[in-house]
Chains A and B, each alone.
Chain A
Amino acid sequence: MQLGIGGMPNIIGQLLMEHGKKDLGIHTEMFTDSMADLIEEGVITGRKTSLNPGKAVHCFAAGSRRMYDFMDHNTSLAGFPVDYTNDPYIISQNEKQVAINSAIAVDLTGQVCSETVGYRHISGTGGQLDFTLGAYMSKGGKAFTCLHSTYKTKDGEVESRIVPQLERGDVVTVPRSVTSYVATEYGVVNLKGKTSWERAKLLISIAHPDFRDELEREAEEKNIIPKTLRGRKKRSFE
Chain B
Amino acid sequence: MPWVPGGYDESIHISDVDFIVENEKYEIPELGNPDATDVDKKK
Chain A residues with CB under 8 Å of chain B are 7-8, 10-11, 14-15, 33-34, 52, 55, 57, 61-65, 68-69, 71-75, 77-81, 84, 148, 185
Contact = CB atoms under 8 A, between A and B. Distances in A.
Contact of A81 (B9, B34, B40): B9
Interface of A is mostly: mixed
Contacts of B31: 33, 62-64
Contact of B2 (A10, A72, A78): A72
B30 to A, nearest CB: 5
Contacts of A68: 1-2, 28
A74 B4 contact: yes
B5 A77 contact: yes
Contacts of A57: 7
Interface in B1-43: 1-10, 28-31, 33-36, 39-43
Contacts of B7: 52, 55, 57, 78-80, 84
10 closest residue pairs by CB, A with B: A72-B2, A11-B36, A185-B42, A80-B7, A7-B34, A71-B2, A78-B7, A11-B40, A79-B6, A62-B31
Contact of B33 (A10, A80, A148): A10
Interface of B is mostly: loop
A52 to B, nearest CB: 7
B4 A77 contact: yes
A80 B9 contact: yes
